[in-house]
Amino acid sequence: MGVEDFAGNRASFAARYVSMSDAELLALAAKSWELSDSAWDALEDELDRRGLEPPPPEEVPQVEAVEKRNLVLLRRFRDLPEALLAKGMLESAGISCFLADDNMVRLDWFLSNLLGGAKLMVDAEDFAEASRVLNEPAPQDLEDDD
């Protein structure tokens, strides 16, 4: 039976549970929080029919909330290579950052002006340091090791 066979009614769940082994039913009953009401009712009926005692339910897994970041816009770039260069400079200085809308610009560069370009985003507390890193002048004389 495929997923499309289970319209969410109790009879379709009951038909599926009849073909399952006792161990499979008990494992399913242990995760009762995953089941809909009609699925649980059908499972309880099948467990009663087989004379099986439902195990105590497992604990519901706790989902950690994603930490929200206070992001600010540091710079906008019309061209993606410049944005990637700036991002690389910040990352090499140990400043966490990311580019917003870079995939849209990469997909169709003509959209860059419409979107306001690729946006270099940093944490608010890193704004001053990130700005300083990007505003540093490029060294005029680079030493060659050769």
Task: Calculate ∠ Cα 47-51-55, nearest 5°.
Answer: 55
Per-residue pLDDT at 146:
59
Match 């599926």 to its residue by tokens.
16
Per-residue pLDDT at 14:
86
pLDDT tens string 120-141: 999 999 999 999 999 998 777 7
Q: Measure the CA–CA gap between 71 and 30, rounded to whole angstroms.
A: 42
Total Cβ atoms within 10 A of residue 119: 19
Question: Between 141 and 81, where is the model more confident?
Answer: 81
For residue 6, pLDDT over 60 is answered with no
What share of the chain has pLDDT > 90, as a percent?
33
Contact call for residues 124 and 97 (beta carbons, < 8 A): no
Per-residue pLDDT at 142:
67
Q: Measure the CA–CA gap between 71 and 17, rounded to whole angstroms.
A: 50
**Which tokens belong to 122?**
């940093």
Partner residues linked to 77 by β-bridges = 118
pLDDT tens string 27-44: 888 888 888 888 888 888
